[in-house]
Amino acid sequence: MENADRVMSVAEAHRLDKPERLQWLPPDLVLSLLPLRAGITVADVGTGTGYFAIPIARAISCDGKVFAVDLQREMLSLLANKLIATDAPSNISLVQGSADATSLDSESCDLAFLANVWHEVPDHAGALREMNRILKAGGSLAILDWRTDVEHPPGPPLEHRIHAGEVRRYLVSHDWSCDPPTPVGRYSYIVLCRRAGTFKRPPVA
Ligand X SMILES: C[S@@+](CC[C@H](N)C(=O)[O-])C[C@H]1O[C@@H](n2cnc3c(N)ncnc32)[C@H](O)[C@@H]1O
Per CB under 6 A, residues contacting ligand X are 7-8, 16, 45-48, 51-52, 70-72, 75, 98-99, 115-117, 120-121
Instruction: Tell the smallest beta-carbon distance from residue 62 to ligand X (Å).
Output: 22
Q: What is the 3-state secondary structure (H, E, C) of the chain?
A: CCCHHHCCCHHHHHHHHCCCHHHHCCHHHHHCCCCCCCCCEEEEECCCCCCCHHHHHHHCCCCCEEEEEECCHHHHHHHHHHHHHCCCCCCEEEEECECCECCCCCCCEEEEEEECCHHHCCCHHHHHHHHHHHEEEEEEEEEEEECCCCCCCCCCCHHHCCCHHHHHHHHHHCCEEECCCEEECCCEEEEEEEECCCCCCCCCC
Instruction: Name which of 161 and 195 has its Cβ closer to ligand X.
Output: 161
Instruction: Tell the smallest beta-carbon distance from residue 20 to ligand X (Å).
Output: 14
CB-closest chain residue to ligand X: 48
Instruction: Name which of 46 and 64 has its Cβ closer to ligand X.
Output: 46
Instruction: Name which of 16 and 111 has its Cβ closer to ligand X.
Output: 16
Instruction: Name which of 55 and 139 has its Cβ closer to ligand X.
Output: 55
